[in-house]
Amino acid sequence: MEAWLESLTVLQRVMLFIAVPATLLLLIQTVMLLIGLGSGEEDADGADLDGDGIPDSMEAETVDLDGDGIPDGLHEGIHSDGDAGADNDAHGSLLSGLHIFTIRGFITFFTLFGWSGLLFLTLGLHWLLSLFLAVQIGIIGMVAVAVILREAMHLQSDGTLDVRNALGKRGNVYLTVPAKGQGTGKVNVTVQEQLREFEAVTRETVPIPTGSEIVVVGLTEDGTLVVSPFLPGREEV
């Protein structure tokens, strides 16, 4: 081992000294990530998949992807079906929600940069070309990790209930819904393939009694369902 180290050039040693600590940090982060993901639902809200020191659930409430000056997490007061599709468009973009310059991203960069640079130098490539290729591989690694973690975050969030998916769905009244928003009742609606109980209000001039079939027509700012009696001929959105 000592003989091999002595045979390395100064630049090769620099690459090695960059790669080894970065690799150890990457392994530690990976183990911590696996432990965090395996600890159950209670830890999900505090998970930090991208390694930027901010829980991902908090990022979801503070990030502003659409640039309107309002954190996307605050767009909960949806009153029409048209707003529900905007969120899907944001997730559909390849680069939307991509966090490249994070702690995990930089550790990945230095890991790949160090090892690839050492490999190219060992193969006899010119040091300038070796460094150039090593930088490219490090950047590709950063982007790849960011994409993987973004998809992991999406999978994690897919398991949680998004009340906006109730828009346009039909259900049944469990507890009478008072008229004109003068109180809340309870309704049962199947959302994300699960039958859920929600608080509900209505703008109708008469109460909607227990057992009635309803359709979700909107949401209040606090996430309460706005419902109306289901009429024959009205289809789900």
pLDDT number for residue 101:
82
Domains within the chain, CATH numbers bracketed: 2-158 (no CATH), 165-229 (2.40.50.140)
Taking only the tens place, the pLDDT of each residue in 107-140 is: 999 999 999 999 999 999 999 999 999 999 999 9
Higher-confidence residue: 42 or 147?
147
Which one-letter DSSP state was computed for residue 180? G
**Residue 154: pLDDT band with limits 50, 70, 90:** low
Q: Are 131 and 40 in contact (CB under 8 A)?
A: no
Closest CA to 79 of 209, 222, 178, 204: 222
- In terms of Cβ atoms closer than 10 Å to its own Cβ (0-12, 13-18, 19+), residue 84 is middle
pLDDT number for residue 36:
61
Closest CA to 19 of 116, 102, 103: 116
Taking only the tens place, the pLDDT of each residue in 181-226 is: 899 999 999 987 888 889 999 999 999 999 999 999 999 988 899 9
pLDDT number for residue 214:
95
